[in-house]
Amino acid sequence: MKRALLLAGAVIALSHLASAHIWRVNNDPSKSADFVLINDAIAAAAPGDTLHIEPSATPYPNFLLNKRLVILGNGYFLGGGNLQVDKDSSVSNGMVVDSSSATANGSGSFIAGMTFNSMSFLHNVHDVTLTRCHVIGQVNITAFDRPTTGIIITKNFLESFIVSAFLTAQVTATIENNIFSTATGVGGASINLDANVTGLFRNNTVNFAQADVILNNFYIANNVFVSTNMAAITGGNNIIRNNSFAAPTVTNVTDGADGNHTNVDMSTLFTGNTSTGYGDSRFRTAGPGVLRGTGETIGGITPDRGAYNTVAATDSYRTSGIPPIPSIYRLTVPVSVDPSATTMDIILSTRSNN
């Protein structure tokens, strides 16, 4: 009863997997889950199955995702809020999503609510969504030798670099509605993707002290770059529109052109202190101002700039990264029950998290 995730209905938001099996993974053997190790669960699962990686005070070992699966964790930054009953996160030391052969193919996977010390997209894996996750170390796009689409990195809290290496073919990536920052204060990494990676970089909030960005053939729009030390967006053939920069000058960006603005005072634009605050909710847009409703209009909707989006809420970053499934955020259970009782009163509160 104390598990934070509701197993029933877990794939409401993933209706194409409605008939798949749901497996519980918990590295505490006393919890009587289906598996203790994530790798063992992956080996037993069929493509399309869902693995619930239950919260734990002990990190799970590295794992290799080489099947089309749904991986769901508990979320992150849960200690100070009332979002989940269990305040622990689902932490793994690392994940590699691999597509090295026809029998080892993690393409089509969906990963949400996890915390990773590092993660990699490897060997032409495609159509993979990493969303509502907390990645402490690097996100790597590595060893692609044929054209690949569908690397989706969205609504995550990212503390380090997104980098590419050993690419000999074009990879198309979507990077949007992410927060780039350390958990406390500002960060010291950025985005560095070579010319083989192309795509969309939109509605991100970048809170790195040295936030230079290296992208090529990207559409860069509606982002907020909090650092006053940012020097440039480098690379070639980028389209750069409707971004806000704290830095007074940014190479390849002209203040006032294409909706871009430099030298923006960020001190009152967010609900929390981006320099010394903790977690992700400090990056919410504070209210009417230069970020609210000033992004590039798409489909008749003019969104906010940055990761949080009050105008188009379905595209917004989600605080604490809770997956788009029902969760229990409050649970009251009797301390004791009379042995002769046939019923007991339990009070629980749930939310959908869509």
Q: What is the pLDDT of residue 325?
A: 55
The two tokens of residue 185 are: 């204060």
pLDDT of residue 103: 82
- Percentages helix, strand, coil for the chain, rounded to the nearest 5? 5, 35, 60
Reduced to 3 states (helix: H, G, I; strand: E, B; else coil), residue 320 is: helix
Question: 26-62: per-residue pLDDT in tens?
Answer: 999 989 999 999 999 999 999 999 999 999 999 999 9
% pLDDT > 90, the chain: 72
What dihedral angle (degrees, nearest 10) is formed by the CA atoms of 267, 273, 275, 278?
A: -160
Q: Rounded to two decimals, what is the model's pTM?
A: 0.88
For residue 251, count other CB atoms closer than 10 A to its CB: 11
Work out whether strand 134-135 and strand 114-116 pair parallel, antiparallel, or are unpaired.
parallel
Q: Tokens in use for 201?
A: 């970089």
Evaluate whether 197 touches 175 at the Cβ level (below 8 Å): no
Distance of CA 257 to the CA centre of its chain: 31
- Report the helix count and the strand count for the chain, using DSSP H and E: 1, 29
Burial classification of residue 331, based on how many CB atoms lie within 10 Å of its CB (0-12 exposed, 13-18 middle, 19 or more buried): middle
Work out the pLDDT band at 13, boundaries 50, 70, 90. very low
At CB < 8 A and 24+ separation, what contacts does 114-118 make? 114/53, 114/71, 114/72, 114/73, 114/90, 115/73, 115/76, 115/89, 115/90, 115/91, 116/91, 116/92, 117/59, 117/91, 117/92, 117/93, 118/93, 118/94
The model's pLDDT over 319-328, given as tens digits with 9 standing for 90+, comes to 999 886 554 4
- Condensed to tens digits (0 to 9), the pLDDT of residues 160-174 reads 999 999 999 999 999
Q: Is 29 helix (H, G, I), strand (E, B) or coil?
A: helix
How many Cβ atoms from other residues are within 10 Å of residue 183's Cβ?
A: 15
Phi then psi for 353, rounded to 5 degrees? 65, 20
